[in-house]
Amino acid sequence: MPVFSYKGLGPKGKDISGIKDADTAKSLRTMLRREGIFLTEFKEAKAGMAAEEEEASKGLSRDVQVFGTGISKRQVAMFTRQLSVLLRSGIPLAESLATLTEQHGVGRRSTADRLQRVLADLRRQVNEGTALADALANHPRVFHELYINMVRSGEAAGNLEEVLDRLADFMERDLDLSSKVIGTLLYPLIMMAVSVGILVILMTVVVPKITAIFADMERALPWNTQLLISVSHYTGTYWYAFLGFIVIFILVFMAWKRSPSGRPRWDKFKIVVPLFGVVLRYLAVSRFCRTLGTMFQAGVPLLQALEISKHVLDNHALMKVIDEAQVGIREGESIASQLKKSVYFEPMVIHMVAVGERTGQLPEMLVSVATTYEKQVESRLSKLTTILEPIMILSLGGTVGFVIFSIIVPILQMNEVVQ
């Protein structure tokens, strides 16, 4: 059955676009009229959208693969949950994908429309006899390797709906944790930006106007006032040089951080730096344990699960530990004995992994470790915010106090001369 891409007007004159199966253009118009949609434009996918659909059939859709997806992880998690619910209800896979494609086709063209195109391509491939995992693999920017391998394991074991359920849980937990981390650190970052803005205004606008009255003083100014005037003068006069230096420093630092020699050093520094290092390490370990545990539960083989899970660490120092562990595991060693060789995995993690290996409950133990570490991340972030807030307030207050003191003392000296 041909697939048509259409645009139309809804009952209230709202622009509507989507993709729909229909035998002919006349059938498409009739179907849409029954839904209260006035058809204004349509194209058959095989002809009118050839450039887009042919690339999609090769996994190279322009919207999805070349210029970025524009599809959020939250949308993928929602699609995964909805697909799991439909499959649990006994609806066949192809029909479930068709239902979700229609659902995402209601509304204006947006990121939902991009997801709809991906779902339409998945439905087409499944209808042609392609396995869902292979269809997902044609959209690697939308569906991660972990996602594809878990779906493949679910299809092989015949429990695809359960695997999709676990995937949705995993993605939602990861998104919630990321949101908490960003939300917790947002307030200190805003305070820092405001503090810098206030200092820049003081030094470039306020201080020069006030200190101009000291030019006629015959008495020597205090050292702190001279320092304030000098800093204000150079900041206001050579601001472009300071700005250029900051930009160059950031560009050089970013290039060094991405270099083969700089990336490992920076990654190691991140997880040992005071205050922030522990939080970043706990966050990486919790994601690794949850990913590995979820993949074990889906039936993914150990070495393959380790190879995929190590990438969620996003840290060369920690990834090196997993690489070395894989070598030992291939030689028959246990996971716990290999992790024990590293200083980055705490004794609690190693002990729980060892217990899981002995009792045959390793997936459950890994998920339990991940949950524990996620709570530790939240707790430490809360403490970190509590520590940073007064430090930043005191720093800003001290700087402003220094500026005020440096201005008031000479003014008081001028009053004494006048009297």
Residue 408's pLDDT is 83
Average pLDDT over residues 52-67: 38
DSSP state, residue 220:
P
pLDDT digits (tens, 9 = 90+) for 167-181: 888 888 888 888 877
Q: Domain 162-419: which CATH class? A: mainly alpha
Per-residue pLDDT reduced to its tens digit, 207-265: 787 777 776 666 677 888 888 888 888 877 888 888 899 899 999 999 998 898 888 89
Q: Is the pLDDT of residue 284 over 80?
A: yes
* pLDDT of 343 above 80: yes
User: How far is residue 12 from each of residues 41, 103, 105, 241, measured CA to CA in Å?
Assistant: 18, 19, 17, 57
> Model-level pTM?
0.65
Query: Is pLDDT of 61 > 60?
Result: no
Q: Which residues pair with 6 in a beta bridge?
A: 18, 42
Q: Is the pLDDT of residue 54 over 70?
A: no
Indicate if the pLDDT at residue 49 is higher than 50: no
Above 70 in pLDDT, residue 282? yes
CATH topology of domain 1-48: Ubiquitin-like (UB roll) (3.10.20)
| Amino acid at residue number 287 | R
- Nearest CA to 309 among 330, 287, 325, 326? 287
Query: Identical fold at 58-143 and 162-419?
Result: yes
Task: Among 3.50.50.60, 1.10.10.10, 2.40.50.840, 1.20.81.30, name the CATH number for the domain at 58-143.
Answer: 1.20.81.30
Nearest to 5 by CA among 110, 98, 105: 105
What is the token pair recorded at 274? 């005071």
Tens digit of each residue's pLDDT (9 = 90 or more) over 64-119: 333 345 688 888 999 999 999 999 888 899 889 888 887 765 444 455 567 888 88
Domain boundaries, the chain: 1-48, 58-143, 162-419
CA separation for the pair 27, 143 (Å, rounded): 34
